[in-house]
Structure 1
Amino acid sequence: MASHVSGTRSGAAARSPGRTGTGSGWLVFAAVLMVFGGLMMIFEGIAAIAEDDVFVTTRNYVYEFDLTAWGWIHLVVGVVITLAGAALFQGATWARAVGVAVAGLAMLANFLWIPYAPFWAIVLIAINGFVIWALCTAPSPSE
Protein backbone atom coordinates (compact mmCIF):
# COMPACT_ATOMS: atom_id res chain seq x y z
CA MET A 1 0.00 0.00 0.00
CA ALA A 2 1.15 3.49 -0.81
CA SER A 3 0.73 6.18 1.76
CA HIS A 4 -0.16 9.70 0.75
CA VAL A 5 1.00 12.67 2.75
CA SER A 6 -0.96 15.85 2.33
CA GLY A 7 0.76 19.22 2.24
CA THR A 8 3.81 20.25 0.32
CA ARG A 9 6.02 17.80 -1.43
CA SER A 10 9.45 17.07 -0.06
CA GLY A 11 11.90 19.73 -1.23
CA ALA A 12 9.24 22.01 -2.70
CA ALA A 13 8.57 25.30 -1.00
CA ALA A 14 5.05 26.59 -0.67
CA ARG A 15 4.43 29.84 -2.50
CA SER A 16 1.83 32.35 -1.61
CA PRO A 17 -0.56 33.32 -4.40
CA GLY A 18 0.36 36.31 -6.49
CA ARG A 19 4.10 35.98 -5.98
CA THR A 20 6.60 35.69 -8.77
CA GLY A 21 10.20 34.55 -8.90
CA THR A 22 11.41 38.11 -8.29
CA GLY A 23 9.43 38.50 -5.07
CA SER A 24 6.27 40.36 -5.90
CA GLY A 25 4.48 42.47 -8.43
CA TRP A 26 5.81 45.59 -6.70
CA LEU A 27 9.38 44.61 -7.54
CA VAL A 28 8.42 44.11 -11.17
CA PHE A 29 6.63 47.46 -11.11
CA ALA A 30 9.74 49.13 -9.67
CA ALA A 31 12.00 47.41 -12.20
CA VAL A 32 9.87 48.56 -15.14
CA LEU A 33 9.80 52.13 -13.83
CA MET A 34 13.55 52.05 -13.18
CA VAL A 35 14.34 50.89 -16.70
CA PHE A 36 11.93 53.44 -18.20
CA GLY A 37 13.10 56.32 -16.01
CA GLY A 38 16.74 55.39 -16.53
CA LEU A 39 16.37 55.32 -20.29
CA MET A 40 14.64 58.70 -20.22
CA MET A 41 17.50 60.13 -18.14
CA ILE A 42 19.99 58.66 -20.62
CA PHE A 43 18.20 60.35 -23.53
CA GLU A 44 17.98 63.58 -21.54
CA GLY A 45 21.71 63.39 -20.80
CA ILE A 46 22.60 62.75 -24.44
CA ALA A 47 20.51 65.73 -25.55
CA ALA A 48 22.16 67.95 -22.93
CA ILE A 49 25.68 66.78 -23.86
CA ALA A 50 24.91 67.57 -27.49
CA GLU A 51 23.73 71.01 -26.28
CA ASP A 52 20.41 70.58 -28.00
CA ASP A 53 18.14 73.58 -28.41
CA VAL A 54 15.38 71.77 -26.52
CA PHE A 55 16.55 73.07 -23.15
CA VAL A 56 15.92 76.56 -21.87
CA THR A 57 18.80 78.09 -19.96
CA THR A 58 17.95 80.46 -17.17
CA ARG A 59 20.05 83.14 -15.59
CA ASN A 60 20.85 83.54 -11.94
CA TYR A 61 19.88 80.00 -11.01
CA VAL A 62 21.44 79.02 -7.70
CA TYR A 63 22.49 75.53 -8.85
CA GLU A 64 23.62 76.58 -12.28
CA PHE A 65 25.96 74.16 -14.03
CA ASP A 66 27.05 73.98 -17.60
CA LEU A 67 24.47 72.13 -19.72
CA THR A 68 27.13 69.57 -20.69
CA ALA A 69 27.89 68.87 -17.02
CA TRP A 70 24.21 68.27 -16.33
CA GLY A 71 24.14 65.99 -19.37
CA TRP A 72 26.93 63.82 -17.99
CA ILE A 73 25.27 63.69 -14.56
CA HIS A 74 21.98 62.55 -16.11
CA LEU A 75 23.72 60.07 -18.39
CA VAL A 76 25.65 58.37 -15.58
CA VAL A 77 22.69 58.27 -13.17
CA GLY A 78 20.44 56.99 -15.96
CA VAL A 79 22.82 54.15 -16.81
CA VAL A 80 23.08 53.09 -13.16
CA ILE A 81 19.29 53.18 -12.69
CA THR A 82 18.73 51.18 -15.89
CA LEU A 83 21.27 48.52 -14.87
CA ALA A 84 19.81 48.25 -11.35
CA GLY A 85 16.32 47.89 -12.84
CA ALA A 86 17.54 45.12 -15.13
CA ALA A 87 19.16 43.42 -12.13
CA LEU A 88 15.81 43.54 -10.32
CA PHE A 89 14.31 41.51 -13.16
CA GLN A 90 17.00 38.89 -12.47
CA GLY A 91 16.06 38.82 -8.77
CA ALA A 92 19.21 40.48 -7.39
CA THR A 93 18.56 41.54 -3.81
CA TRP A 94 21.33 44.17 -3.86
CA ALA A 95 19.43 45.99 -6.62
CA ARG A 96 16.74 47.04 -4.14
CA ALA A 97 19.17 49.04 -1.98
CA VAL A 98 20.99 50.42 -5.01
CA GLY A 99 17.65 51.29 -6.60
CA VAL A 100 16.47 53.26 -3.56
CA ALA A 101 19.77 55.15 -3.30
CA VAL A 102 20.09 55.95 -7.00
CA ALA A 103 16.41 56.85 -7.36
CA GLY A 104 16.90 59.31 -4.50
CA LEU A 105 19.91 60.81 -6.28
CA ALA A 106 17.89 60.97 -9.50
CA MET A 107 15.12 62.82 -7.68
CA LEU A 108 17.66 65.34 -6.43
CA ALA A 109 19.25 65.72 -9.88
CA ASN A 110 15.86 66.21 -11.51
CA PHE A 111 14.84 68.73 -8.86
CA LEU A 112 17.94 70.75 -9.71
CA TRP A 113 17.15 70.22 -13.42
CA ILE A 114 13.69 71.86 -13.17
CA PRO A 115 14.76 75.21 -14.72
CA TYR A 116 16.01 73.44 -17.87
CA ALA A 117 13.10 71.07 -18.53
CA PRO A 118 10.38 71.64 -15.92
CA PHE A 119 7.69 69.25 -17.08
CA TRP A 120 10.01 66.35 -17.75
CA ALA A 121 11.94 66.88 -14.51
CA ILE A 122 8.71 66.74 -12.49
CA VAL A 123 7.59 63.59 -14.32
CA LEU A 124 10.91 61.87 -13.53
CA ILE A 125 10.72 63.00 -9.89
CA ALA A 126 7.30 61.33 -9.64
CA ILE A 127 8.54 58.15 -11.34
CA ASN A 128 11.50 57.93 -8.97
CA GLY A 129 9.19 58.53 -6.01
CA PHE A 130 7.08 55.55 -7.11
CA VAL A 131 10.25 53.49 -7.55
CA ILE A 132 11.38 54.21 -3.99
CA TRP A 133 7.92 53.47 -2.65
CA ALA A 134 7.61 50.19 -4.55
CA LEU A 135 11.10 49.02 -3.54
CA CYS A 136 10.51 49.83 0.11
CA THR A 137 7.06 48.27 0.40
CA ALA A 138 7.62 45.11 -1.66
CA PRO A 139 7.85 41.96 0.43
CA SER A 140 11.20 40.27 0.66
CA PRO A 141 11.68 37.40 -1.84
CA SER A 142 12.62 35.13 1.09
CA GLU A 143 9.23 35.61 2.79
Structure 2
Amino acid sequence: MASTSTGPSVAPAGPSSSHHPLRIGWTAFAAVLMIFGGAMAIFEGIAAIARNNVFIATRDYVFRFNLTGWGWIHLALGIVIVIAGCALFTGAAWARVTGIVLAGLSALANFLWLPHYPLWSIVLIALDVFIIWALCADSYEEKESV
Protein backbone atom coordinates (compact mmCIF):
# COMPACT_ATOMS: atom_id res chain seq x y z
CA MET A 1 0.00 0.00 0.00
CA ALA A 2 1.12 3.50 -0.76
CA SER A 3 1.20 5.92 2.06
CA THR A 4 -0.18 9.41 1.48
CA SER A 5 0.67 12.38 3.55
CA THR A 6 -2.23 14.47 4.78
CA GLY A 7 -0.15 16.99 6.74
CA PRO A 8 1.07 20.31 5.43
CA SER A 9 3.98 20.18 3.06
CA VAL A 10 7.19 21.68 4.31
CA ALA A 11 9.06 23.92 1.91
CA PRO A 12 12.84 23.87 2.03
CA ALA A 13 14.18 26.55 4.25
CA GLY A 14 15.59 29.51 2.38
CA PRO A 15 18.25 31.83 3.61
CA SER A 16 17.13 33.65 6.74
CA SER A 17 17.59 37.36 7.20
CA SER A 18 20.39 36.73 9.70
CA HIS A 19 22.44 35.10 6.94
CA HIS A 20 21.79 37.68 4.24
CA PRO A 21 25.11 38.34 2.45
CA LEU A 22 24.89 42.13 2.72
CA ARG A 23 24.08 41.90 6.42
CA ILE A 24 27.01 39.62 7.10
CA GLY A 25 29.25 41.87 5.00
CA TRP A 26 28.48 45.11 6.84
CA THR A 27 28.70 43.48 10.25
CA ALA A 28 32.01 41.81 9.40
CA PHE A 29 33.35 45.06 7.95
CA ALA A 30 32.27 46.98 11.07
CA ALA A 31 33.93 44.31 13.24
CA VAL A 32 37.20 44.61 11.32
CA LEU A 33 37.05 48.41 11.57
CA MET A 34 36.40 48.16 15.31
CA ILE A 35 39.37 45.86 15.79
CA PHE A 36 41.56 48.20 13.72
CA GLY A 37 40.30 51.36 15.46
CA GLY A 38 40.65 49.74 18.88
CA ALA A 39 44.21 48.70 18.11
CA MET A 40 45.03 52.26 17.02
CA ALA A 41 43.51 53.60 20.26
CA ILE A 42 45.68 51.14 22.21
CA PHE A 43 48.80 52.40 20.42
CA GLU A 44 47.70 56.01 21.00
CA GLY A 45 47.26 55.27 24.69
CA ILE A 46 50.64 53.57 25.01
CA ALA A 47 52.36 56.47 23.21
CA ALA A 48 50.65 59.04 25.45
CA ILE A 49 51.51 57.12 28.63
CA ALA A 50 55.13 56.41 27.67
CA ARG A 51 56.20 59.73 26.20
CA ASN A 52 54.29 62.95 26.76
CA ASN A 53 56.47 64.82 24.24
CA VAL A 54 55.20 62.78 21.24
CA PHE A 55 52.01 64.81 21.01
CA ILE A 56 51.44 68.52 20.48
CA ALA A 57 49.36 70.45 22.98
CA THR A 58 47.58 73.50 21.60
CA ARG A 59 47.52 76.26 24.17
CA ASP A 60 44.55 78.22 22.87
CA TYR A 61 42.05 75.37 22.92
CA VAL A 62 38.74 75.48 24.77
CA PHE A 63 39.51 72.44 26.93
CA ARG A 64 42.76 71.08 28.30
CA PHE A 65 43.39 67.61 29.77
CA ASN A 66 46.29 65.69 31.27
CA LEU A 67 47.95 63.74 28.44
CA THR A 68 48.85 60.73 30.61
CA GLY A 69 45.27 60.45 31.84
CA TRP A 70 44.03 60.51 28.27
CA GLY A 71 46.56 57.81 27.46
CA TRP A 72 45.00 55.50 30.04
CA ILE A 73 41.51 56.31 28.77
CA HIS A 74 42.49 55.51 25.17
CA LEU A 75 44.25 52.32 26.25
CA ALA A 76 41.25 51.00 28.21
CA LEU A 77 38.74 52.07 25.56
CA GLY A 78 40.85 50.50 22.83
CA ILE A 79 41.01 47.14 24.61
CA VAL A 80 37.23 47.09 25.12
CA ILE A 81 36.63 48.07 21.48
CA VAL A 82 38.87 45.25 20.21
CA ILE A 83 37.00 42.74 22.38
CA ALA A 84 33.62 44.04 21.17
CA GLY A 85 34.82 43.92 17.57
CA CYS A 86 35.77 40.26 18.00
CA ALA A 87 32.36 39.58 19.60
CA LEU A 88 30.62 41.04 16.53
CA PHE A 89 31.80 38.03 14.53
CA THR A 90 29.50 35.85 16.66
CA GLY A 91 26.45 37.74 15.39
CA ALA A 92 25.11 38.42 18.89
CA ALA A 93 22.68 41.34 19.18
CA TRP A 94 24.35 42.56 22.38
CA ALA A 95 27.65 42.85 20.47
CA ARG A 96 26.00 45.15 17.91
CA VAL A 97 24.50 47.41 20.59
CA THR A 98 27.80 47.42 22.49
CA GLY A 99 29.64 48.24 19.27
CA ILE A 100 27.39 51.23 18.61
CA VAL A 101 27.85 52.56 22.15
CA LEU A 102 31.62 52.03 22.13
CA ALA A 103 32.01 53.64 18.69
CA GLY A 104 30.11 56.65 20.03
CA LEU A 105 32.37 56.83 23.09
CA SER A 106 35.42 56.50 20.86
CA ALA A 107 34.22 59.34 18.62
CA LEU A 108 33.72 61.51 21.71
CA ALA A 109 37.15 60.62 23.10
CA ASN A 110 38.79 61.38 19.76
CA PHE A 111 36.94 64.69 19.56
CA LEU A 112 38.42 65.63 22.93
CA TRP A 113 41.80 64.34 21.68
CA LEU A 114 41.80 66.84 18.76
CA PRO A 115 44.26 69.30 20.36
CA HIS A 116 46.92 66.58 20.66
CA TYR A 117 46.67 64.77 17.32
CA PRO A 118 44.17 66.52 15.00
CA LEU A 119 44.54 64.57 11.75
CA TRP A 120 44.46 61.12 13.35
CA SER A 121 41.53 62.14 15.57
CA ILE A 122 39.51 63.18 12.53
CA VAL A 123 40.31 59.87 10.80
CA LEU A 124 39.19 57.86 13.84
CA ILE A 125 36.03 59.96 14.26
CA ALA A 126 35.12 59.24 10.63
CA LEU A 127 35.84 55.55 11.23
CA ASP A 128 33.60 55.53 14.32
CA VAL A 129 30.76 57.25 12.45
CA PHE A 130 31.01 54.64 9.69
CA ILE A 131 30.97 51.81 12.26
CA ILE A 132 27.82 53.24 13.84
CA TRP A 133 26.20 53.54 10.40
CA ALA A 134 27.14 49.99 9.39
CA LEU A 135 25.82 48.47 12.62
CA CYS A 136 22.58 50.48 12.48
CA ALA A 137 22.06 49.76 8.77
CA ASP A 138 22.20 46.04 9.53
CA SER A 139 19.41 46.22 12.10
CA TYR A 140 17.31 48.37 9.73
CA GLU A 141 17.69 45.81 6.90
CA GLU A 142 16.66 43.04 9.30
CA LYS A 143 13.43 44.84 10.24
CA GLU A 144 12.70 45.69 6.62
CA SER A 145 13.04 42.08 5.42
CA VAL A 146 10.66 40.69 8.08
Tell me the alpha carbon deviations over residues 4-33 of structure 1, each in whole angstroms, 9 at most, x when there is no partner: x7831xxxx42159735xx52110011010
Does residue 92 of the first structure (1) align with residue 92 of the second (2)?
A: yes
Normalised to the residue count of structure 2, the TM-score between the two structures is 0.82
Secondary structure (helix, strand or coil) at the match of 2:34 reads: helix
Tell me the alpha carbon deviations over residues 48-89 of structure 1, each in whole angstroms, 9 at most, x when there is no partner: 011243210122433211110110111111111111000001
Question: Any gaps of 5 or more consecutive residues in structure 2?
Answer: none
Q: Which has a greater percent of helix?
A: 2
**Cα distance in 1 for residues equivalent to 2:106 and 2:115:** 15
- Aligned CA-pair RMSD: 2.6
Code of the residue aligned with 2:20 in structure 1: it is R
Secondary structure (helix, strand or coil) at the match of 2:28 reads: helix
Normalised to the residue count of structure 1, the TM-score between the two structures is 0.83
Structure 1 pair 71–125 and aligned structure 2 pair: CA distance change class (3 A): same
Residue aligning to 2:20: 19
**8 A Cα contact 1:51 1:67, kept in partner:** no
For residue 7 of structure 1, the aligned residue among 8, 11, 15 is 11
Q: For structure 1, which segment, 125-134 or 63-72, has the greater mean C-alpha deviation from structure 2 after superposition?
A: 63-72
Residue aligning to 1:64: 64
Q: Percent identity?
A: 56
